Amino acid sequence: MENQSSISEFLLLEFSSIQELQIAQFCLFLFLYLATLTGNLLIISAVVFDYRLHTPMYFFLMNLAIQDIASVSVLIPKFMINYLLNSRHISYSGCVAQVIFFVSFVGCDVALLTVMAYDRYVAICNPLQYELIMNRRACMQMVGSVWVTGFLYGGLHTGGTFVTPFCSNVVNQFFCEIPQLLKLACSDLYLAEIGAVIFSVPILLGIFIFIIVTYIKIFSAVLRIPSVQGRKKALSTCLPHIVVFSVFLIFVCFAYLRSPPQKPSHLDLAITIMYSIIPPMLNPMIYSMRNQEIKNALSKLLNF
């Protein structure tokens, strides 16, 4: 990364010049961060301390919660520290770290949501073989593959982004976001990242089709369940996953398929928050509202 010698740091989005808005921004990010931490830590604690949740589905849910905490922790603390220090600087290496970790955790989320869809497919469409197929070793291998795939994905996009020299160090976003960094490129070397995106599209499209086909088969199997109670129980384990995947997909597509604005705006900041912070915050609430086992475990954990 030869351009590190010419640019040693980046300047992130400037805070509002109005003190009241600065305080409102800080309080908003503090609330979002604490809400995300609290919700996901409760999910992790519920799964760890309630033996009834020691199943593959909740093991994957616990990993999703860990990834969600990690993804927001890459972004928000730096923003809040800069506010407290009245600064907007981030080092070159810090910017690289933000990109690789954030993109990696997003990649892990996509891979894990795919694994969770397969888990529900086996549980509902092939229940007699579920324990044999989704055994402890298989679950560990799947989660290991999720983390490896996510970080390979993050490394691919980080390399494609930082291989180019930058003509400016002003990033019009509250963190080092790839589309904003590519706008600073001096040469056509940014095409390496475009190539990485083109390479990723068929993979992501394949994942999307896999999940859609999987749930078509799941719903077909659910409709054949004779008991109304059985159908409700099966749907209660599937609907949260569908909602989580849909929220994640909608926000990411909305953020990355639009043209990046030339100047920073409150709308652009809101859209970025929607795809980078809101899904990790909503995931615990979505799973808690629709899943009675999670509700019972949380009630027991909190002594309600």
Q: What is the pLDDT of residue 4?
A: 45
CATH number of 146's domain? 1.20.1070.10
Arithmetic mean of pLDDT, 238-261: 70
Q: How confident is the model at residue 255 (pLDDT cuts 50, 70, 90)?
A: low
Q: How confident is the model at residue 262 (pLDDT cuts 50, 70, 90)?
A: low
Domains contained in the chain, number: 1
Helices 266-276 & 228-256, crossing angle to 10 degrees?
140
- The predicted model scores a pTM of 0.87
The amino acid occupying position 98 is Q
pLDDT digits (tens, 9 = 90+) for 38-51: 999 999 999 999 88
pLDDT digits (tens, 9 = 90+) for 94-151: 999 999 999 999 999 989 989 998 998 998 888 889 999 999 999 999 999 999 999 9
Q: Which of 145-149, 188-192, 247-251, 299-303 has the highest mean pLDDT?
A: 145-149
Question: Which helix (H) or strand (E) is 58 found in, with range?
Answer: helix 56-84
Higher pLDDT, 82 or 20: 82
C-alpha triplet 222, 279, 195: angle, nearest 5°: 100
Q: What torsion do the CA atoms of 133, 136, 138, 141 make, to the nearest 10 degrees?
A: 170
Our measurement of the distance from residue 46's CA atom to the centroid of its chain's CA atoms, rounded to an integer in Å, reads 21
Task: Show the domain range for 235.
Answer: 2-302
Q: How confident is the model at residue 91 (pLDDT cuts 50, 70, 90)?
A: very high
Under 8 Å between Cβ of 61 and 287: yes
Across the chain, mean pLDDT equals 84
Higher pLDDT, 134 or 251: 134
Q: What is the pLDDT of residue 258?
A: 60
Closest CA to 62 of 294, 304, 301: 294
